């Protein structure tokens, strides 16, 4: 009985997103507004959003500022493509 309660408690704690997860999810929502990113989603599916390396990559950036600067956006897109290739997605 105690094991079941501890497993339930552990599941609840794991379901609460951390501040890093909140930032990553916010970044994904911002990216989903972009046509070029939606094309990537269409091609690669939701595996993009589940991949830990890609989630870490997305979490490192301030997506709002990148989307407002065309030069930063080009660099970000190239880096994102490199991560996708490295992860075989």
pTM of the predicted model, to two decimals? 0.75
Contact 45, 79 (CB under 8 A): no
Which of these, 61, 57, 55, lies nearest to 21 by C-alpha position?
A: 55
- Over the chain, what is the mean pLDDT? 85
65/25 Cα distance (integer angstroms): 16
Q: What is the pLDDT of residues 20-60, one digit of tens each?
A: 888 999 999 999 999 999 998 888 887 888 888 899 999 99
Q: What percent of the chain has pLDDT over 70?
A: 83
């Amino acid at each position: 009985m105690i094991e079941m309660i501890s497993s339930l408690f552990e599941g609840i704690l794991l379901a609460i997103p951390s501040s890093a997860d909140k930032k990553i999810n916010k970044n994904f929502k911002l990216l989903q507004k972009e046509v070029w990113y939606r094309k990537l989603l269409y091609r690669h599916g939701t595996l993009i959003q589940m991949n830990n390396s890609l989630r870490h990559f997305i979490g490192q950036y301030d997506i709002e500022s990148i989307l407002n600067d065309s030069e930063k956006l080009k660099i970000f897109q190239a880096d994102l493509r490199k991560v996708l290739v490295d992860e075989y997605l």
